[in-house]
Protein backbone atom coordinates (compact mmCIF):
# COMPACT_ATOMS: atom_id res chain seq x y z
CA UNK A 1 0.00 0.00 0.00
CA UNK A 2 1.27 3.46 -0.86
CA UNK A 3 1.21 6.19 1.77
CA UNK A 4 2.56 9.70 2.44
CA UNK A 5 3.40 11.30 5.81
CA UNK A 6 4.72 14.81 6.51
CA UNK A 7 8.08 14.90 8.32
CA UNK A 8 9.80 17.65 10.30
CA UNK A 9 13.38 18.44 11.37
CA UNK A 10 13.51 18.62 15.17
CA UNK A 11 16.86 19.71 16.63
CA UNK A 12 19.22 17.07 15.18
CA UNK A 13 16.52 14.48 14.35
CA UNK A 14 13.55 13.97 12.03
CA UNK A 15 10.06 13.20 13.25
CA UNK A 16 6.42 12.83 12.21
CA UNK A 17 2.90 12.57 13.57
CA UNK A 18 1.28 9.12 13.74
CA UNK A 19 -2.51 8.97 13.73
CA UNK A 20 -3.34 5.85 15.75
CA UNK A 21 -6.57 4.22 16.95
CA UNK A 22 -10.31 4.76 16.70
CA UNK A 23 -11.01 7.58 17.30
CA UNK A 24 -7.61 8.89 16.27
CA UNK A 25 -4.96 9.83 18.83
CA UNK A 26 -1.76 11.54 17.73
CA UNK A 27 1.77 10.48 18.65
CA UNK A 28 4.89 12.42 17.63
CA UNK A 29 7.66 9.90 16.90
CA UNK A 30 11.30 10.03 15.87
CA UNK A 31 12.28 8.35 12.60
CA UNK A 32 14.83 5.54 12.95
CA UNK A 33 16.38 3.53 10.09
CA UNK A 34 17.59 0.84 12.49
CA UNK A 35 14.51 0.23 14.64
CA UNK A 36 12.70 -3.05 13.85
CA UNK A 37 9.39 -1.83 15.32
CA UNK A 38 7.36 1.32 15.83
CA UNK A 39 6.46 2.07 19.43
CA UNK A 40 4.86 4.83 21.43
CA UNK A 41 4.39 5.24 25.17
CA UNK A 42 0.94 4.13 26.32
CA UNK A 43 -1.35 4.39 29.33
CA UNK A 44 -1.34 2.66 31.74
CA UNK A 45 2.39 3.28 32.12
CA UNK A 46 4.47 2.08 35.06
CA UNK A 47 7.67 3.93 34.20
CA UNK A 48 7.28 6.26 31.22
CA UNK A 49 9.83 8.98 30.52
CA UNK A 50 8.44 12.54 30.79
CA UNK A 51 6.71 13.73 27.61
CA UNK A 52 5.22 16.95 26.32
CA UNK A 53 2.24 14.96 24.97
CA UNK A 54 -0.06 12.53 26.73
CA UNK A 55 0.68 8.82 26.22
CA UNK A 56 -1.56 6.84 23.88
CA UNK A 57 -4.70 5.93 25.83
CA UNK A 58 -5.36 2.30 24.92
CA UNK A 59 -8.77 2.23 26.63
CA UNK A 60 -10.08 5.00 24.36
CA UNK A 61 -9.46 3.10 21.10
CA UNK A 62 -12.16 0.64 19.97
CA UNK A 63 -9.73 -1.03 17.52
CA UNK A 64 -6.96 -1.66 20.06
CA UNK A 65 -5.98 -5.14 21.25
CA UNK A 66 -2.93 -6.73 22.82
CA UNK A 67 -0.98 -9.59 21.23
CA UNK A 68 -0.51 -12.79 23.20
CA UNK A 69 2.59 -14.90 23.74
CA UNK A 70 1.33 -17.53 21.31
CA UNK A 71 0.37 -15.11 18.55
CA UNK A 72 1.93 -15.54 15.13
CA UNK A 73 3.86 -12.29 15.61
CA UNK A 74 5.35 -13.28 18.96
CA UNK A 75 6.38 -16.72 17.69
CA UNK A 76 8.01 -15.41 14.50
CA UNK A 77 11.62 -16.74 14.63
CA UNK A 78 12.87 -13.57 12.94
CA UNK A 79 11.75 -11.57 15.98
CA UNK A 80 13.18 -13.92 18.61
CA UNK A 81 15.78 -11.44 19.88
CA UNK A 82 13.17 -8.69 20.23
CA UNK A 83 10.18 -10.72 21.47
CA UNK A 84 11.78 -13.92 22.76
CA UNK A 85 11.33 -13.29 26.49
CA UNK A 86 7.61 -13.95 26.69
CA UNK A 87 6.74 -15.31 30.13
CA UNK A 88 3.20 -14.06 30.68
CA UNK A 89 0.05 -13.94 28.55
CA UNK A 90 1.02 -10.78 26.67
CA UNK A 91 3.73 -10.52 24.04
CA UNK A 92 6.51 -8.32 25.44
CA UNK A 93 9.19 -6.46 23.47
CA UNK A 94 12.63 -5.22 24.46
CA UNK A 95 14.30 -2.95 21.89
CA UNK A 96 17.76 -1.48 22.38
CA UNK A 97 19.28 1.55 20.68
CA UNK A 98 23.03 1.12 20.93
CA UNK A 99 24.27 1.03 24.51
CA UNK A 100 22.45 4.17 25.58
CA UNK A 101 18.72 3.54 25.68
CA UNK A 102 16.03 0.85 25.61
CA UNK A 103 12.25 0.65 25.48
CA UNK A 104 10.14 -2.11 27.02
CA UNK A 105 6.45 -2.81 26.58
CA UNK A 106 3.67 -4.87 25.04
CA UNK A 107 3.09 -5.67 21.37
CA UNK A 108 -0.36 -4.52 20.26
CA UNK A 109 -2.56 -4.07 17.20
CA UNK A 110 -4.52 -0.98 16.20
CA UNK A 111 -5.42 1.06 13.13
CA UNK A 112 -2.88 3.47 11.64
CA UNK A 113 -4.33 6.38 9.68
CA UNK A 114 -2.51 8.30 6.95
CA UNK A 115 -4.22 11.68 6.94
CA UNK A 116 -2.08 13.11 4.11
CA UNK A 117 -2.84 10.27 1.66
CA UNK A 118 -6.34 9.58 3.06
CA UNK A 119 -5.94 5.85 3.68
CA UNK A 120 -5.41 3.53 6.65
CA UNK A 121 -3.59 0.39 7.70
CA UNK A 122 -5.84 -1.87 9.75
CA UNK A 123 -4.12 -4.36 12.01
CA UNK A 124 -0.97 -2.25 12.42
CA UNK A 125 1.42 -4.01 14.82
CA UNK A 126 3.37 -1.75 17.15
CA UNK A 127 4.80 -1.54 20.63
CA UNK A 128 3.09 0.07 23.61
CA UNK A 129 5.95 1.28 25.79
CA UNK A 130 5.50 1.16 29.56
CA UNK A 131 9.09 1.48 30.79
CA UNK A 132 12.49 2.56 29.54
CA UNK A 133 16.20 2.96 30.22
CA UNK A 134 18.54 5.73 29.13
CA UNK A 135 17.87 9.20 27.73
CA UNK A 136 14.79 10.07 25.66
CA UNK A 137 13.61 13.51 24.59
CA UNK A 138 10.37 14.84 25.98
CA UNK A 139 9.11 16.07 22.59
CA UNK A 140 8.97 12.51 21.20
CA UNK A 141 6.27 9.96 22.08
CA UNK A 142 8.31 7.08 20.68
CA UNK A 143 10.07 5.78 17.57
CA UNK A 144 8.99 5.06 13.99
CA UNK A 145 10.62 1.78 12.96
CA UNK A 146 12.08 1.92 9.43
CA UNK A 147 14.70 -0.80 9.91
CA UNK A 148 14.76 -4.22 8.32
CA UNK A 149 12.33 -6.86 9.54
CA UNK A 150 8.69 -7.94 9.23
CA UNK A 151 7.33 -5.37 11.71
CA UNK A 152 8.84 -2.21 10.22
CA UNK A 153 6.27 0.17 8.79
CA UNK A 154 7.37 -0.41 5.19
CA UNK A 155 7.07 -4.21 5.65
CA UNK A 156 3.57 -3.94 7.09
CA UNK A 157 2.57 -1.74 4.15
CA UNK A 158 4.11 -4.27 1.73
CA UNK A 159 5.94 -1.33 0.20
CA UNK A 160 8.47 -1.98 -2.56
CA UNK A 161 10.38 1.22 -1.76
CA UNK A 162 10.28 4.26 0.50
CA UNK A 163 11.88 7.69 0.40
CA UNK A 164 12.32 10.78 2.54
CA UNK A 165 14.09 14.12 2.34
CA UNK A 166 16.43 15.32 5.07
CA UNK A 167 15.77 19.04 4.96
CA UNK A 168 18.42 21.27 6.53
CA UNK A 169 18.32 21.59 10.31
CA UNK A 170 16.59 24.78 11.33
CA UNK A 171 14.39 24.72 8.25
CA UNK A 172 10.76 25.71 8.74
CA UNK A 173 9.75 23.58 5.77
CA UNK A 174 8.15 20.15 6.20
CA UNK A 175 9.10 17.30 3.93
CA UNK A 176 7.54 13.88 3.28
CA UNK A 177 8.09 10.21 3.96
CA UNK A 178 6.61 8.26 1.04
CA UNK A 179 5.94 4.53 0.63
CA UNK A 180 5.56 3.09 -2.85
CA UNK A 181 3.72 0.10 -4.31
CA UNK A 182 6.31 0.24 -7.07
CA UNK A 183 9.77 1.81 -6.84
CA UNK A 184 9.99 5.14 -8.73
CA UNK A 185 11.95 5.19 -11.98
CA UNK A 186 15.43 6.67 -11.56
CA UNK A 187 17.21 8.62 -14.28
CA UNK A 188 20.51 6.74 -14.30
CA UNK A 189 22.16 9.50 -16.33
CA UNK A 190 21.37 12.25 -13.80
CA UNK A 191 24.67 13.33 -12.22
CA UNK A 192 22.91 14.45 -9.04
CA UNK A 193 21.89 10.84 -8.34
CA UNK A 194 24.07 8.22 -6.66
CA UNK A 195 23.00 4.58 -6.44
CA UNK A 196 24.63 2.34 -3.82
CA UNK A 197 24.11 -1.41 -3.26
CA UNK A 198 22.78 -2.47 0.12
CA UNK A 199 23.59 -5.66 1.96
CA UNK A 200 22.58 -7.46 5.12
CA UNK A 201 24.79 -8.17 8.12
CA UNK A 202 23.78 -11.08 10.34
CA UNK A 203 25.37 -9.38 13.35
CA UNK A 204 23.07 -6.35 12.95
CA UNK A 205 19.96 -7.73 11.22
CA UNK A 206 17.87 -4.53 11.49
CA UNK A 207 20.25 -2.20 9.63
CA UNK A 208 20.79 -1.37 5.97
CA UNK A 209 24.50 -1.77 5.30
CA UNK A 210 26.15 0.14 2.45
CA UNK A 211 28.91 -1.09 0.16
CA UNK A 212 31.41 1.55 1.23
CA UNK A 213 34.83 2.07 -0.33
CA UNK A 214 36.40 4.86 1.72
CA UNK A 215 36.86 8.56 2.50
CA UNK A 216 38.96 11.07 0.60
CA UNK A 217 40.32 14.42 1.78
CA UNK A 218 41.23 16.96 -0.91
CA UNK A 219 40.97 14.21 -3.50
CA UNK A 220 43.28 11.70 -1.77
CA UNK A 221 41.82 8.46 -0.42
CA UNK A 222 42.63 7.71 3.21
CA UNK A 223 44.92 4.72 3.72
CA UNK A 224 42.42 2.55 5.61
CA UNK A 225 42.05 -1.19 5.11
CA UNK A 226 38.83 -2.22 3.37
CA UNK A 227 38.11 -4.63 6.24
CA UNK A 228 37.68 -1.62 8.56
CA UNK A 229 34.72 -0.53 6.42
CA UNK A 230 33.30 -4.06 6.49
CA UNK A 231 33.76 -4.26 2.74
CA UNK A 232 33.30 -7.77 1.38
CA UNK A 233 32.51 -10.54 3.83
CA UNK A 234 33.75 -9.03 7.09
CA UNK A 235 30.79 -9.09 9.47
CA UNK A 236 32.57 -7.46 12.40
CA UNK A 237 31.98 -3.98 11.02
CA UNK A 238 30.33 -2.15 8.19
CA UNK A 239 28.75 1.15 7.22
CA UNK A 240 25.20 2.23 8.05
CA UNK A 241 23.10 5.40 7.98
CA UNK A 242 21.64 6.73 11.23
CA UNK A 243 19.35 9.74 10.86
CA UNK A 244 18.99 9.84 14.65
CA UNK A 245 22.72 10.53 15.05
CA UNK A 246 23.89 13.97 13.98
CA UNK A 247 27.63 13.21 13.60
CA UNK A 248 29.43 10.51 11.64
CA UNK A 249 31.21 7.94 13.80
CA UNK A 250 34.35 6.25 12.47
CA UNK A 251 36.04 3.17 14.00
CA UNK A 252 39.18 4.13 15.92
CA UNK A 253 41.54 2.82 13.24
CA UNK A 254 39.83 4.90 10.54
CA UNK A 255 39.32 7.97 12.73
CA UNK A 256 43.00 8.18 13.66
CA UNK A 257 43.98 8.22 9.98
CA UNK A 258 41.24 10.77 9.23
CA UNK A 259 42.32 13.06 12.07
CA UNK A 260 46.00 12.86 11.10
CA UNK A 261 45.24 13.77 7.49
CA UNK A 262 42.99 16.69 8.48
CA UNK A 263 45.75 18.07 10.72
CA UNK A 264 48.08 18.00 7.72
CA UNK A 265 45.82 20.22 5.62
CA UNK A 266 44.08 22.57 8.10
CA UNK A 267 46.99 24.99 8.68
CA UNK A 268 45.07 27.89 7.14
CA UNK A 269 42.35 27.55 9.80
CA UNK A 270 42.38 28.88 13.36
CA UNK A 271 42.02 25.85 15.62
CA UNK A 272 39.72 25.93 18.63
CA UNK A 273 39.40 23.64 21.64
CA UNK A 274 37.55 20.37 21.23
CA UNK A 275 33.81 20.45 21.95
CA UNK A 276 32.86 17.27 23.80
CA UNK A 277 33.53 14.39 21.33
CA UNK A 278 34.16 16.76 18.41
CA UNK A 279 37.94 17.26 18.24
CA UNK A 280 38.47 19.04 14.93
CA UNK A 281 37.17 22.52 15.73
CA UNK A 282 37.92 25.95 14.24
CA UNK A 283 37.12 29.60 14.57
CA UNK A 284 34.12 30.32 12.37
CA UNK A 285 35.14 32.74 9.66
CA UNK A 286 33.42 33.39 6.33
CA UNK A 287 36.85 33.44 4.66
CA UNK A 288 37.75 29.92 5.83
CA UNK A 289 38.58 27.40 3.12
CA UNK A 290 37.90 23.95 4.53
CA UNK A 291 39.30 20.66 3.23
CA UNK A 292 37.07 18.91 0.71
CA UNK A 293 35.73 15.62 2.08
CA UNK A 294 33.99 12.93 0.05
CA UNK A 295 32.47 9.54 0.87
CA UNK A 296 32.97 6.83 -1.76
CA UNK A 297 30.68 3.88 -2.40
CA UNK A 298 30.39 0.97 -4.75
CA UNK A 299 28.31 1.98 -7.77
CA UNK A 300 24.84 0.43 -7.76
CA UNK A 301 24.14 1.71 -11.27
CA UNK A 302 24.70 -0.84 -14.03
CA UNK A 303 26.20 1.86 -16.24
CA UNK A 304 29.12 3.98 -15.06
CA UNK A 305 32.26 3.77 -12.97
CA UNK A 306 32.95 1.11 -10.36
CA UNK A 307 32.70 3.67 -7.55
CA UNK A 308 30.59 6.77 -6.90
CA UNK A 309 31.31 9.78 -4.69
CA UNK A 310 29.22 11.80 -2.24
CA UNK A 311 30.92 15.20 -2.08
CA UNK A 312 29.96 17.15 1.03
CA UNK A 313 29.37 20.88 1.20
CA UNK A 314 30.25 22.97 4.27
CA UNK A 315 26.81 22.59 5.84
CA UNK A 316 27.16 18.82 5.64
CA UNK A 317 30.74 18.78 6.98
CA UNK A 318 30.44 21.29 9.82
CA UNK A 319 28.53 21.67 13.06
CA UNK A 320 28.20 25.07 14.74
CA UNK A 321 28.71 24.19 18.38
CA UNK A 322 29.14 27.65 19.91
CA UNK A 323 28.99 31.24 18.74
CA UNK A 324 32.06 31.61 16.56
CA UNK A 325 33.10 27.93 16.62
CA UNK A 326 32.51 25.16 14.09
CA UNK A 327 33.67 21.52 14.19
CA UNK A 328 33.97 18.84 11.56
CA UNK A 329 31.07 16.50 12.31
CA UNK A 330 33.22 13.37 12.55
CA UNK A 331 33.68 11.52 15.84
CA UNK A 332 35.70 8.53 16.98
CA UNK A 333 33.46 5.53 17.59
CA UNK A 334 35.60 4.12 20.38
CA UNK A 335 33.40 1.17 21.34
CA UNK A 336 32.23 -0.03 17.94
CA UNK A 337 33.52 -1.44 14.67
CA UNK A 338 30.62 0.19 12.84
CA UNK A 339 30.93 3.29 10.70
CA UNK A 340 27.79 5.37 11.24
CA UNK A 341 26.99 8.12 8.73
CA UNK A 342 24.96 10.72 10.60
CA UNK A 343 22.24 13.10 9.55
CA UNK A 344 24.44 16.21 9.37
CA UNK A 345 26.28 14.73 6.38
CA UNK A 346 22.96 14.03 4.64
CA UNK A 347 21.24 17.44 4.98
CA UNK A 348 19.54 18.53 1.78
CA UNK A 349 19.55 14.99 0.38
CA UNK A 350 16.64 12.78 -0.60
CA UNK A 351 17.12 9.12 0.24
CA UNK A 352 15.19 6.36 -1.52
CA UNK A 353 15.52 2.71 -0.50
CA UNK A 354 14.49 0.20 -3.16
CA UNK A 355 13.53 -2.86 -1.13
CA UNK A 356 13.32 -5.14 -4.16
CA UNK A 357 16.63 -4.30 -5.83
CA UNK A 358 18.38 -3.61 -2.50
CA UNK A 359 19.62 -0.21 -3.67
CA UNK A 360 19.98 3.07 -1.78
CA UNK A 361 19.57 6.18 -3.94
CA UNK A 362 21.03 9.55 -2.89
CA UNK A 363 19.57 12.56 -4.72
CA UNK A 364 21.53 15.76 -4.05
CA UNK A 365 19.76 19.08 -3.41
CA UNK A 366 16.34 17.49 -3.80
CA UNK A 367 14.75 18.83 -0.61
pLDDT of residue 45: 85
Decide the pairing of beta strands 238-242 and 338-342.
Answer: parallel
Are the CB atoms for 39 and 58 separated by under 8 Å?
no
pLDDT of residue 231: 60
Give the C-alpha separation, 204 to 206, whole Å. Answer: 6
pLDDT of residue 328: 97
Are the CB atoms for 7 and 177 separated by under 8 Å?
yes
Are the CB atoms for 262 and 297 separated by under 8 Å?
no
Are the CB atoms for 151 and 79 separated by under 8 Å?
yes
Residue 53 CA, distance from chain mean position: 23
Q: Show the low-confidence residues of the chain (pLDDT under 50).
A: 234
Is the whole-model pTM more than 0.75?
yes
Domains belonging to the chain, first-starting first, are 3-180 (2.40.70.10), 193-364 (2.40.70.10)
Give the C-alpha separation, 149 to 159, whole Å. Answer: 13
Give the C-alpha separation, 121 to 107, whole Å. Answer: 16
* R_g (Cα) of the chain, nearest Å: 21
Amino acid sequence: MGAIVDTYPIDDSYALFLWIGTPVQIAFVQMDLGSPITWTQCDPCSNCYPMQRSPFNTKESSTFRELGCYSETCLDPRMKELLGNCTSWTCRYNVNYGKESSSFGTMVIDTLNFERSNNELKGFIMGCGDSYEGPYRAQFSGVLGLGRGPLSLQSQLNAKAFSFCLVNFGSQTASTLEFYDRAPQIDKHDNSIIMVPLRENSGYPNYYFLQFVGISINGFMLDVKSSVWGYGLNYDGGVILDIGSIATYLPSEAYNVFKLEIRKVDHNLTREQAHEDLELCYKDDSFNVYPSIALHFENGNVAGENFVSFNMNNDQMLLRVDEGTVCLSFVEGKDSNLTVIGSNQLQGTQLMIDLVKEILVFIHNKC
